[in-house]
Amino acid sequence: MDYKLLIVDDDFAIRSFLEEALKDVGYQVEKADNGKSAIKILENQKIDLIITDLKMPEVDGLELLSIVKEKFQDTGLLLMSAYGTVDDAVQAMKIGAFDFVTKPFSITEIETRVKRFFEFQDLKTENVKLKKKISSEEKYTSLIGNSEKMKEVYRRIEMVSKSDVSVLVTGESGTGKELVSREIHNNSLRNNSPYLQINCAAIPENLVESTLFGYEKGSFTGALKTTNGVFQESNTGTLLLDEVTEVSTGMQAKLLRVLQEKVVVKVGSHAPQKIDVRIISTSNQNVIKLVEDKDFREDLFYRLNVFPIEIPPLRERMEDLPLLVDYFLMKIADKYVVDKKIISPPALDKMFNHSWPGNVRELVNVIERAFLYAGTNEQILESHITMEANNTTLQKTTHNFDGLSSLEEIERRAIFATLRKTKNNRTKASKILDISVRTLRNKLNLYKEKDILPSEFILGEELQDSN
């Protein structure tokens, strides 16, 4: 055995007896006749376990135990005494002794206690290794991908999680911004505190302030009781402001004040309430462009964007597609309590040839639909893969670009998807696409000339341009 023991006792006979017995079963043994000598040995050698008498002059067993726990945390300690009491045992165990044995004892008893200590240490070591392995394998389990772009996302989550700085997560709809936010919270020091998220785009304009900051009873019609807002409810935890760029300019000023002063005032009240909340925000828009166009406050942007994380669209990390498909097939099989299906190569090829304007969210829908179409078939075939209904036209023209390059085709699909999202509002679409209205008009005219502009976008001479 490589384990080294230190026997500390002012009784020469006890020291010699234990040394001989423990060496016989394979342990290396050092001896000391008092606590001071033991400390000198500890300072010069690595000792795995100390077997010490409780009652000794100058430095007794409990004092030695305290010193060991402070300076030599990796060393275990077994106490022995002829004057053992329950109180001594309880005190020793509280300080950190592994075990307590009373004299007289048999050598078998000591050997058993020593053996148990090292078995326990081995178990602890294996447990630590297992926890590290599990942590390594399961970290960010809600985020799937081994591409370099996703690895960069993981690195940034790792960098920022343990801090309290504000994080702005950007990316197209369906890329998983909310998942990134939750991973930051789960890996933060606030992970046992509340995690709330609020979709800023879904709150009616007249309810934004009361939803965020709360309201006093009677402050407006329908305010039947005093209610906390999401800032108070997420106190000591994390608050996700989803699609924060949808907040009106007036509310942006109030939000900025809360972030600066770390206090909120309920609607109908004048009493400020302190809050301790970590803020994570998301947006699917070009926030810098919104700031330049004065649609989003620059000072608020800097408050929210202390640490930016950009999530890549699926089309920019297509090497992750097989991994994502396999993962969602497994999740869907679990959902329906059936055997997992496999994807056929032609079906996967079809998915590779799609630009995925709806990103991972669209992918999940396509896979689940294919799973159901496949029925009892163990394999998902190409015929089972049908893209989102609003992409039907895109599929029909995939192999008939009329001179468009593959990059231009991706651009075309993005334009059509954005127009559908904005209900054909050209002004809003151009902002999301980060191009001018004139550029958008020219591209649509080009598609019309090539007869690849869907009829849903042809509304007289121009598309809708209302706000």
- CATH tag, 315-387: 1.10.8.60
- CATH tag, 148-312: 3.40.50.300
Q: What is the pLDDT of residue 274?
A: 94
Single-letter amino acid code for the residue at 437: V
**Tokens at residue 265, please?**
């005032």
SS3 string, 248-282, reads CHHHHHHHHHHHHHCEECCECCCCCEECCCEEEEE
Give the number of C-alpha atoms closer than 13 A to the C-alpha of residue 376, restricted to the C-beta side: 0
Q: What is the pLDDT of residue 464?
A: 46
Q: What is the pLDDT of residue 131?
A: 45
d(CA 300, CA 302): 5
Is the CATH number of domain 4-131 3.40.50.2300? yes
Nearest alpha carbon to residue 457 among 431, 422, 432? 422
Q: What is the pLDDT of residue 392?
A: 37
Q: What is the mean pLDDT of each run of 10 residues along the chain (467 residues)?
A: 86 88 90 89 91 81 84 86 64 76 82 84 61 43 83 93 94 93 93 92 86 89 86 94 92 93 91 94 94 93 95 93 91 88 89 92 93 90 80 37 49 77 82 79 81 70 45
Q: What is the pLDDT of residue 400?
A: 37
**Tokens at residue 85, please?**
């009491």
* Coil vs helix vs strand at 309: strand
Single-letter amino acid code for the residue at 435: I
